[in-house]
Amino acid sequence: MKAYNLFIACAIGIFCVLVWGCERDDICAEDTLTTPRLVIDFYDIANPDELKAVRRLRVIGLDDESMPVDTLSLEGVADPTRILLPLRFQEADTLTITRYLLEEDSDLTADDDPETNSNSDLIEIRYTPEFIYVSRACGYKSIFQFGFNGSVLRITDEDNWIISTEQLKQTIDNEDEAHYIIYH
């Protein structure tokens, strides 16, 4: 009988540990890897191993009609060597396009000198979203495959500051490393 009482005490003890010891898994933790952004690094075209910052970069997201949606916050960095671009997606396994306007020397538009001006280049990102289950709290995330049809292309105009692009990764599934390089 004494052994039995001990058993009950143990069971109650285990229960208490279970109830109060469990972490909350109904809230998606901030450090969980969910839908990633596209990571682009800027390199020097004259010296392709060196990072080169883009002076006074402004990044503007565009909709399907190439109308500006919003200006992307670069988290206080005026001359970035790396940008992280959110991607649009509607349906899994469908080729999707996101367009961004990258404006170099954006401060020169506003000043009085007509000789100097900013230079805007349009880039077009093509990829295929794929939805992947993460957890009870976070639900699903999207990753993006470049595949055969995917790429980051600079649209040619009279005056391009972006010289070329280079693909580093086939899949956008994290934000740890650059997926693409832009040479300028």
Partner 1 sequence: MKMKHTTLFTISIMVLMLLPLMSASQNTNETTQDTLVYKQNYGLRLGGDIGKLIRSFADKDYKGFEINGDYRFSKHVYLAGELGTEEKTIATDYLDVTASGSYFKVGFDYNAYTNWLDMQNMIYTGFRVGASTFSQTLNEYTVYDTNQAFFNNNYTIRPNEEFKGLSAIWAELIIGIKAEMLTNLFMGVNMQIKGRISQDEPVGFENLYIPGFNRTYDSGAIGIGFGYTLSYLIPIYKKDKKIVVETEKP
DSSP string, the chain: -HHHHHHHHHHHHHHHHHHHHSPP-SS--TTS--SPPEEEEEE-SSSTTSB-PPTT-EEEEE-TTS-EEEEPP-TT-SS-SEEEE----SSTTS-EEEEEEEEETGGGTTSS-TT---EEEEEEEEEEEEEEEEETTTEEEEEEE-TTT-EEEEEP-SS-S--EEEE--SEE--SSS-SEEEE-
Nearer to partner 1, 92 or 153 (CB): 92
Nearer to partner 1, 129 or 184 (CB): 129
Q: At its nearest, how many Å lie between partner 1 and the CB of residue 158? A: 29
- Residues 6 to 45 in contact with partner 1, rule: CB under 8 A: 7-8, 11-12, 14-15, 18-19, 22-23, 25-26, 28, 34-35, 37
Positions in the binding site for partner 1 (CB under 8 A):
1, 4, 7-8, 11-12, 14-15, 18-19, 22-23, 25-26, 28, 34-35, 37, 61, 63, 69-70, 72, 86, 88-92, 98, 131-142
